[in-house]
């Protein structure tokens, strides 16, 4: 859809097909986000007090409801694209007159223990919290997997697979290295599979569902603040020190237990 004299170049500014830019930005400069979100990106809770994590699990349930099977049954809007990573699903040029495009189904069951289907508390009650990650929707963006392992930490080399944008999380601070424990990755290939791209915009793809990756932190050390950094890796994914969500994010965890909390108060509660 080329620009013309009457639109003042606005259409070209919104989507520039020659430069692959949306609103003047390339796909690689857009963001990685997570649910639940919280003030100062800190998840602070006690597994023994549901009031401390109720708002986190509420946010996760609201997100997961969009991925319920009943919302993806329309055969005119959705199609099955497999549960292993595969190549892009090209559904015509963005500026063609094809009309509404189909979208790939994404079953929440792919998120295993973090799907909310069996555990409505998403692990928080057991002190094994889940977070769910997605890439922001970017019109006509085709993320490219890493060309090699050169840009990826050695511990994450195993995550480089065909047709998927890998995600890897690790301790942000050296002193937390032995306090994070195992992180489980759920989803298709543990990353963002290419068959869910490109996104054709809200007009043609209003029903589109982003592929999700769920992380479960199975053995976080309690009663201390821990910082974790998660990054998505790709040949056209960029990072910026000015934007903490551009291709990555940091999140802080502090898990307390009520019986431990009393002891942290210098034994006062125990005396009472």
The string of pLDDT tens digits covering residues 57-77 is 999 999 999 999 999 999 999
Helices (H) and strands (E) in the chain, counts: 4, 14
Q: How confident is the model at residue 242 (pLDDT cuts 50, 70, 90)?
A: confident
Between 6 and 78, the more confident residue is 78
What's the rounded Cα separation, in Å, for the pair 260 and 113? 27
Q: Give the pLDDT score at 16.
A: 52
Supply 161's token pair: 């697979």
Q: Is the peptide bond preceding residue 198 cis, with omega within 30 degrees of 0?
A: yes
Q: Compare 264 and 63 and report the one with higher pLDDT.
A: 63
* pLDDT bucket at 29, cuts 50 / 70 / 90: low
Q: Nearest-5° angle of CA 20, CA 134, CA 231?
A: 85
CA 18 to CA 88: how far, in whole Å? 20
Q: Which of 78-92, 158-172, 246-260 has the lowest mean pLDDT?
A: 246-260
Question: What rounded mean pLDDT belongs to the chain?
Answer: 85
- Tens digit of pLDDT for each residue in 93-138? 988 888 999 999 999 999 999 999 999 999 999 999 999 999 999 8
In the predicted structure, residue 15 carries a pLDDT above the cut 90: no
Distances (CA, A) of 125 to 36, 50, 60, 209, 251: 15, 7, 14, 28, 19
> Within a 13 Å sphere around the CA of 266, how many CA atoms are in the beta-carbon half?
1
Signed CA dihedral, 181, 161, 155, 38: sign only: negative
Least confident of 5-19, 99-113, 201-215: 5-19
Assess contact for 107 and 69: CB atoms under 8 A. Answer: yes
Q: How many CB atoms lie within 10 A of CB 64?
A: 21
**Which tokens in the block code for residue 58?**
């509420």
The reported pLDDT for the residue numbered 150 is 82
Question: Closest Cα partner for 95 from 212, 186, 16?
Answer: 16
Report the pLDDT value the prediction gives residue 239, as an integer from 0 to 100: 81
Closest by alpha carbon to 9, among 27, 28, 20, 23? Answer: 23
Q: Which two tokens stand for residue 190?
A: 């543990």
Candidates 205, 49, 41; CA nearest to 133 is 41
Take residue 63 and report the two structure tokens written for it: 């997100």
Query: What does pTM read for this prediction?
Result: 0.84
């Amino acid at each position: 859809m080329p620009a013309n004299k009457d639109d003042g170049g606005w259409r070209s500014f919104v989507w520039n097909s020659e430069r692959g830019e949306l609103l003047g930005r390339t796909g690689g400069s857009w963001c990685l986000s997570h649910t639940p979100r919280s003030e100062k990106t800190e998840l602070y809770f006690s597994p023994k007090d549901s009031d401390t994590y109720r708002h986190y699990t509420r946010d996760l349930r609201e997100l997961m409801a969009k991925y319920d099977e009943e919302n993806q049954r329309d055969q005119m809007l959705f199609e099955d694209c497999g549960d292993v990573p595969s190549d892009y699903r090209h559904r015509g040029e963005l500026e063609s007159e094809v009309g509404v495009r189909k979208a790939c189904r994404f079953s929440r069951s792919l998120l295993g223990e973090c799907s909310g289907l069996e555990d409505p508390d998403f692990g928080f009650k057991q002190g094994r919290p889940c977070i769910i990650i997605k890439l922001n929707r970017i019109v006509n963006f085709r993320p490219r997997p890493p060309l090699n392992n050169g840009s990826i930490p050695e511990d994450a080399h195993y995550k480089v697979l065909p047709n998927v944008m890998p995600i890897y999380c690790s301790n942000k601070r050296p002193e937390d290295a032995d306090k994070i424990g195992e992180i489980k990755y759920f989803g298709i290939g543990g990353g963002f599979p290419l068959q869910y791209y490109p996104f054709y915009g809200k007009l043609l793809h209003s029903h589109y569902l982003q592929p999700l990756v769920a992380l479960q932190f199975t053995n976080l050390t309690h009663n201390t603040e821990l910082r974790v950094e998660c990054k998505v890796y790709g040949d056209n994914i960029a990072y910026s020190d000015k934007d903490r969500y551009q291709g990555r994010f940091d999140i802080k965890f502090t898990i307390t237990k009520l019986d431990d909390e009393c002891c942290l108060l210098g034994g006062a509660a125990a005396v009472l």
